[in-house]
Structure 1
Amino acid sequence: MRKLIYCIIMGFNCIFTVMEIRNLYQPFELSFIETNEYEAIEHKNTFFEMVFVLEGKGVQIINNHKLPYGSDKLFLIFPQDTHRFEINTTSKFFFIRFNQSYLKTQTKEWVQKLEFIFHNHNHLPGCILKTITDKPLVRALIEALIREHINEHPQQQEVIKQLINTIITIAARNIVLMPAAAKFASQHVMQLLNYIHQHIYEPRNLKAEVISKHFNVSPTYIGEYFKTQTGQSLQEYIMEYKLKLIETRLRFTDMRISEIVHELGFTDASHLNRSFKKRRGVSPSEYRKSSDLSNYNS
């Protein structure tokens, strides 16, 4: 069987053999692959990738970790993740690839969903769909993407973007159901971390007394327990998580510092700048400039 890729790239069709290409030159790209010998050499992408398996069996390898794949599985692959597939039976893959320019066109609420994926996924192989009913739902959305491209109805690109965003939203809600971090064995710590991640935009709900009331324990106990389990104080963890969100916004959005200040509950821009520079060694504006230069040169 000859190996072919049928691509859908911003409204254009093409057929070609697998090539060692790892950059993405459009805001997003959709591609369908049917093959029994997808010999993808281990590589790193400069873009984000979601892979849905329509048919077939084999092994997915991310960052040297292996796990079998099968039909109706959805995988996430991030920039800098090393990745490849080993094909056991003829397989059909559907790829959704998108880069930073695509992210910058989205709404604040949608970016927040994506941030949850960035900072809570474990970068290991395996399907992220933990809700059984979401597997046929995502499959239906993937099939709708294919049909939408073929039919070429009016507002085609807008419909395609909405379908992509819906799939990403479903991925985000499934990640909520996953362990917050593999290194934390305690279910209580996982619950604490998930609580923090879900309320990171609500400073009032991140106060120790509010968290302790939510979990029905004393503020002193929850602070000591959290540090024993994670090696960080509750407030240190919250600040570090906020800084990771700030990094994501500086890299992938055009948000102003004043907007980030308001959204993440900093006192003012000076407070954010001091906190960021203290822990990252550069100011937010310097970080954004260096990220833009790095992305331009990649």
Structure 2
Amino acid sequence: MSQAKSVLHQPFEFEFRQLSIFPKRTYQHNFFLLIYIVEGTGIQYLNNHRFNYRKGNLFLITPQDTYSFDIANSSQFFFLSFNSSYIKERRETDWGQQMDFILHNASHRPGCILKNRIDKPLIASLVESIMQEDNNRQLYHSKITEQIVNTIILVVARNIALKLPKNIKETTGEPVLDILHYIQENIFSPENLKIDVIGAHLGISQTYLGKYFKKQTGETLKQYIINYKLRMVETRLLHSDMRINEIVYELNFTDESHLNRLFRKYKGLNPSEFRKIQLLNTSKS
């Protein structure tokens, strides 16, 4: 099976396609891609995994992921692509910070990313609204479409937040999501990630905060923050040309040896070895 690579020429692009046969090739992009199943059934392949798709599924394809589809019943796909410039333009805003959350935490496993039950009809409505705006093209349709796209990506961020810690369920309430969001917003400021500071900011006692977070997520706050930072390190190793010392400085590690020890403890090898192996695997695929 051949592999097709493509680039994105606009900050974001979207397309609706009705297909009975998906082109027999494996795709790989240098941008993020959301694929929503408007109708139809079949199989999605992502990085050598497979998932039976159906109407209402939403998939997130991250840069360097490889994917393809086998269509069982004629399917309508909604493709929404967005690139790094779309992210950078919004990075200083609350919306942009949510986008960073996607970048650093996106799962590379197959399957629908909609884990929050109430978001499923919301996404269906938003996709339908984009279709209507594109068909009617009335005044301000471009600006309205951009706002809908922003909303879709925010919903994606919420669902990624819901699924990252291993024990969070669809019914998880707002407090733990507020904690996750606070950590994500302050990940570059270690002084703000002390448990007493987090508790004071959110109005939760230090003792209760630690027990509550562990019960809701299956991880201690310290474990979650370490894992979160290591995911950010992985993203930079895989999708940027940043040197190790630049990553150390940006993410406030003490020095390179500190990062090397921590990365090896959790990943089994140091950052340079990780990058070399991943690049080698990519060149072979």
- The structure that has the greater radius of gyration is 1
Quick check: 1:145 aligned with 2:130? yes
Give the aligned residue type for 1:213: T
1:1-298 matched pairs, under 5 angstroms: 20=4, 22-106=6-90, 108-180=93-165, 197-200=180-183, 201-202=185-186, 206-209=193-196, 213-215=207-209, 217=211, 236-237=226-227, 240=230, 272=250, 275=253, 278=256, 279=259
- CA gap of 1:226–1:47, structure 2 versus 1, over 3 A, is closer
Give CA-to-partner distance per residue, 1:64-84, whole Å, 9 cap, x none: 111100001111001101111
Q: What RMSD over aligned residues (CA atoms) do the two structures have, in Å?
A: 4.0
User: Residues of 2 paired with 1:236 and 1:100: CA distance?
Assistant: 25
Give the aligned residue type for 1:27: P
Give the aligned residue type for 1:275: F
Contact 2:62–2:106, Cα closer than 8 Å, also in 1:
no
Tell me the equivalent position of 1:287. Answer: none
Tell me the equivalent position of 1:288. Answer: none
Per-residue deviation, 1:98: 1.1
User: Residues of 1 paired with 2:37 and 2:158: CA distance?
Assistant: 19
Contact 2:105–2:228, Cα closer than 8 Å, also in 1:
no
The answer to which of 123-132 and 77-86 deviates more is 123-132
Give the aligned residue type for 1:49: L
Identity %: 31
Tell me the equivalent position of 1:6. Answer: none
User: Residues of 2 paired with 1:205 and 1:120: CA distance?
Assistant: 20
User: Residues of 1 paired with 2:25 and 2:234: CA distance?
Assistant: 31
Give CA-to-partner distance per residue, 1:155-190, whole Å, 9 cap, x none: 222111101010111111122221435xxx799xx9
Give the aligned residue type for 1:145: I
User: Residues of 2 paired with 1:152 and 1:243: CA distance?
Assistant: 42
User: Residues of 2 paired with 1:151 and 1:169: CA distance?
Assistant: 25
Give CA-to-partner distance per residue, 1:187-211, whole Å, 9 cap, x none: 9xx99x9776422235666314566
Tell me the equivalent position of 1:265. Answer: none
Give CA-to-partner distance per residue, 1:211-237, whole Å, 9 cap, x none: 6523455xxx99xx968xx9x867755
User: Residues of 2 paired with 1:151 and 1:26: CA distance?
Assistant: 22
Give the aligned residue type for 1:31: E
User: Residues of 2 paired with 1:156 and 1:50: CA distance?
Assistant: 21
Contact 1:243–1:276, Cα closer than 8 Å, also in 2:
no
Tell me the equivalent position of 1:263. Answer: none
- What's the TM-score once normalised by structure 2's chain length? 0.66
Contact 2:38–2:77, Cα closer than 8 Å, also in 1:
yes
Which segments of 5 or more consecutive residues in structure 1 lack a partner in the other structure?
A: 1-18, 252-256, 258-269, 281-298
- CA gap of 1:234–1:41, structure 2 versus 1, over 3 A, is closer
User: Residues of 1 paired with 2:56 and 2:168: CA distance?
Assistant: 30
Per-residue deviation, 1:276: 8.1
Contact 1:199–1:205, Cα closer than 8 Å, also in 2:
no
- CA gap of 1:271–1:208, structure 2 versus 1, over 3 A, is same
Give the aligned residue type for 2:182: H
Contact 1:120–1:180, Cα closer than 8 Å, also in 2:
no
- CA gap of 1:175–1:216, structure 2 versus 1, over 3 A, is closer
Which segments of 5 or more consecutive residues in structure 2 lack a partner in the other structure?
A: 200-205, 241-245, 261-285
